[in-house]
A and B are shown apart, each in its own frame.
Chain A
Amino acid sequence: MERPLQRSDPGLIEPRDKPGEDDRGRKGFVPFFLTFPGSLWLIIFFLIPMATMMSLSLQEGTIETGYRLTGHWQTYVEALGKYDTQLIRSLIYGLVVTVATLAISYPMAYWIALYGGRRKNLFLLLILLPFFTPFIIRTLSWKFILADNGIVLGNLKEWGLLTEGYQVLATQSAVLAGLIYNFLPFMALPLYVALERLDPSMLDAAKDLYSNKRQTFLRVTLPLSLPGVFAGSLLTFIPSVGDFLNSELLGSVNTTMIGQVIQREFLVNSDYPEGAALSFLLMFGVLALVFLYTRAIGNTEELTGG
Chain B
Amino acid sequence: MSDVRLEGVTKTFKETVAVDDISLLVEEGEFFSLLGPSGCGKTTTLRMIGGFEAPTSGRITLGDRDVTTLPAYKRNVNTVFQSYALFPHLDVTENVAYGLKRKKVAKKDIDSRVQDMLTLVDLEGYGRRRIDQLSGGQQQRVALARALVNRPGVLLLDEPLGALDLKLRKQMQLELKRIQSEVGITFIYVTHDQEEAMTMSDRIAVMSDGRFEQIGAPHDVYEGPQTEFVASFLGASNLLEGEIEGVEGDRAKVRLAVGTTISLPAERLPRREGAVRIGVRPEKLHIRTPDSSDREEPNAVDATVDISTYTGVSTAYECITGDGRKIVVYVQNLGRPEAAMAPGTRVRLSWLPEHTFAVEKGKRPDVEQGGQGA
Contacts and interface: CB of A to CB of B under 8 A. Distances in A.
A305 B90 contact: yes
Interface size class of B (residues with CB under 8 A): 20 to 34
A207 B99 contact: no
Provide the main secondary structure of the chain A interface: helix
Contacts of A209: 73, 78, 98-99, 102, 146, 150
B135 A210 contact: no
A17 B295 CA distance: 67
B210 interface: no
B50 interface: yes
Interface in B42-69: 50-52
A10 interface: no
A137 to B, nearest CB: 42
A306 B85 contact: no
A211 B73 contact: yes
A202 B87 contact: yes
B199 interface: no
A204 B85 contact: yes
Contacts of A305: 89-91, 94
Most buried by A among B79, B94, B98: B98
Contact of A207 (B71, B89, B103, B150): B71
Contacts of B126: none
A286 B2 CA distance: 59
B132 interface: yes
A224 B90 CA distance: 10
Interface in A175-220: 199, 201-202, 204-212, 215, 219-220
B73 A208 contact: yes
A295 interface: no
A304 to B, nearest CB: 7
B72 A208 contact: yes
B89 A208 contact: no
A306 B94 contact: yes
B146 to A, nearest CB: 7
B74 to A, nearest CB: 8
A207 to B, nearest CB: 4
Interface in B70-101: 71-74, 77-79, 81-83, 85-91, 94, 98-99
B52 A204 contact: yes
Chain B contact residues, majority secondary structure: mixed
A1 interface: yes
B121 to A, nearest CB: 17
B133 interface: yes
Contacts of B102: 209-211, 215
From B52, B85, B146, name the one whose CB has the most chain A CB atoms within 10 angstroms.
Answer: B85
Interface in B333-366: none
A220 B135 CA distance: 22
A23 B48 CA distance: 56
Contacts of B73: 207-212
B178 to A, nearest CB: 23
Interface string B260-283: 000000000000000000000000
Contacts of B88: 224
B72 A199 contact: no
Contacts of B98: 206, 209, 219
B344 to A, nearest CB: 54
A210 B103 contact: yes
A239 interface: no
Contact of B89 (A205, A211, A301): A301
A199 B89 CA distance: 13
Nearest to B99: A209
Interface string A268-302: 00000000000000000000000000000000010
A207 B72 contact: yes
A118 interface: no
Nearest to B74: A210
A42 B91 CA distance: 38
Nearest to B47: A204
A9 interface: no
A305 B72 CA distance: 22
A225 to B, nearest CB: 10
A201 B81 contact: yes
A3 interface: yes
Contact of A208 (B50, B83, B91, B135): B50
23 contacts: A3-B133, A201-B81, A202-B87, A204-B50, A204-B72, A204-B79, A204-B81, A204-B85, A205-B81, A207-B71, A208-B72, A208-B73, A208-B78, A209-B78, A210-B73, A210-B99, A210-B150, A211-B73, A212-B71, A212-B73, A224-B89, A305-B91, A306-B94
The 8 nearest A-B residue pairs measured at CB: A209-B99, A201-B85, A210-B102, A205-B85, A207-B72, A210-B73, A223-B89, A208-B79
Given A208-B52, A220-B87, A305-B94, 13 more contacts: A1-B132, A202-B85, A204-B50, A205-B79, A205-B87, A207-B71, A209-B78, A209-B102, A210-B74, A210-B103, A211-B73, A211-B102, A305-B91
